[in-house]
Chains A and B, each alone.
Chain A
């Protein structure tokens, strides 16, 4: 019996939704491997999270409550995790498949002789090893991936692939880490953090509903309409490449092959043709709504509900309807 580690992704002292989903995934795996689940919190504010992490099934919480964890680029987190893996003997680590954390996983894999599987949407155990489900090529193929024998298993979990569930456990036991960084770890430093999130709208990768706009919006103001629709639904706002290229919406909200992958319960695309490169980032959404004045637009071939019409007529009416129904 060992420990299965979950690297907690957090912001402003709170674990992100994905972190709680990862704990649920970890508990499913641990019930088969006989491991216990331990959370790892790198950065400030760890002890405040012992309760919520415990309730989601973390027995232990390895905490490095230090500004150094995020004050330098990647390596402090790698060195802290390496220490936890070595002292706990853990064979498996789950991480959030997000930009900056993938780097931590990659560097850690080299240090501990592990494999890395990114963007897993499912995890099982066979022959004592993790078997991860990965949807590839924009969801066209569904694969199972596993690790070679004797290798540490570092698994990136996708947003919203698991529903976070409470296990009825009490607060996690906090184990404070003492990490002494190598010289290399402090060679590249973070000099500034620019938060560009302008509202409390959820991020597109986390949101249960995503409202996306494309070239059909015609201009930047079109995104105000998208934001109004999003706010009625508690949705995140995304964009096609045509819209981000035009400068109507920031690049990090681009959905698609070279942008981000979203897999919400509901995706609503307005003025988006549904080019294959866009579909590659959203076609695994559970429900797809398309509003486009061109009935031949390829997005209709994957839409669960489509309206052939002018978005500037349909969307304002839709906002009214939704508001009325919300009461």
Chain B
């Protein structure tokens, strides 16, 4: 069985985040970038399929040359090889453009299962996995909190606000996973060393047959036009409890003054 894990490079949540005032894209220069944390769960799920079913697992990343360390990081968990789509023509793509580029890359690959994270921690739109599935004419079983592959069938528990739906379909299929699905392991030293020499195929839009009039900033269906930083918050009331719980009455007063009681 063949599995592909698309991954994304995102700004570290703990660090500085900004939008470039000129092109309104995420300012990725001079900030800490990381492998999207949710990809640790999609990678773990793929590694488990490698262990249990002998799956062959490939990483797919769309990103500029400078995103290469993220690909190596993904490989260090024990995945087999990688494809990176690098082309200035895809820079600034919106969610739909991103889906088009990833789908084009997938058309060049053989796979039974594609495992996305349910969202990337930067834009958090969640729409890319299903849009990719639509372009490829495949089922989208997203938000998996449990995933089982049995022969040519996949069963997924899709997490939602009220519980989960058990769904099934035949392979090939596109899935995305939520954090609840597993506990990611850390890459081993051996894994980190091996990742340096694993095959990485860097491809341009032309290499994957991607029509560049469908992607990139100029062809985005949705664009950011303006942004501002949230004004800083005024300091609140902080009281220290003396161990008697007497502050609870003060809090209740405050809540009453705000009409929450």
Contact = CB atoms under 8 A, between A and B. Distances in A.
Contacts of A138: 13
Interface in B74-118: 94-96, 99, 118
Nearest to A289: B251
Interface residues of B, number: 86
A205 interface: yes
Nearest to B231: A142
Interface residues of A, number: 95
A187 B222 contact: no
B222 A115 contact: yes
Interface of A, secondary structure class, is mixed
Interface stretch (B50-58, B156-164, B186-194): B156-164
Given A187-B169, A309-B243, A252 B140 contact: no
A276 B225 contact: no
A114 B99 CA distance: 13
A110 B131 contact: yes
Contacts of A191: 155, 166-168
B221 interface: yes
Contacts of A310: 241, 243
Nearest to A300: B238
Contacts of A73: 139-141, 158, 167, 169
7 contacts: A106-B95, A115-B96, A143-B19, A144-B227, A258-B38, A259-B179, A307-B239
Interface of A: 11, 73-75, 78, 98-100, 102-107, 109-111, 113-119, 131, 134-148, 151, 184, 187-197, 203, 205, 209, 233, 241, 244, 251-252, 254, 257-259, 265-266, 276-277, 280, 287-289, 295, 300, 302-310, 313-318, 320-322, 325-326
Given A102-B127, A141-B19, A321-B248, 13 more contacts: A99-B158, A100-B165, A115-B222, A118-B127, A137-B122, A188-B168, A195-B163, A251-B145, A266-B260, A276-B13, A302-B233, A303-B238, A313-B241
List 9 A-B pairs, minimum CB-CB distance, nearest first: A309-B241, A115-B221, A188-B169, A317-B248, A251-B180, A115-B222, A196-B163, A106-B127, A317-B245
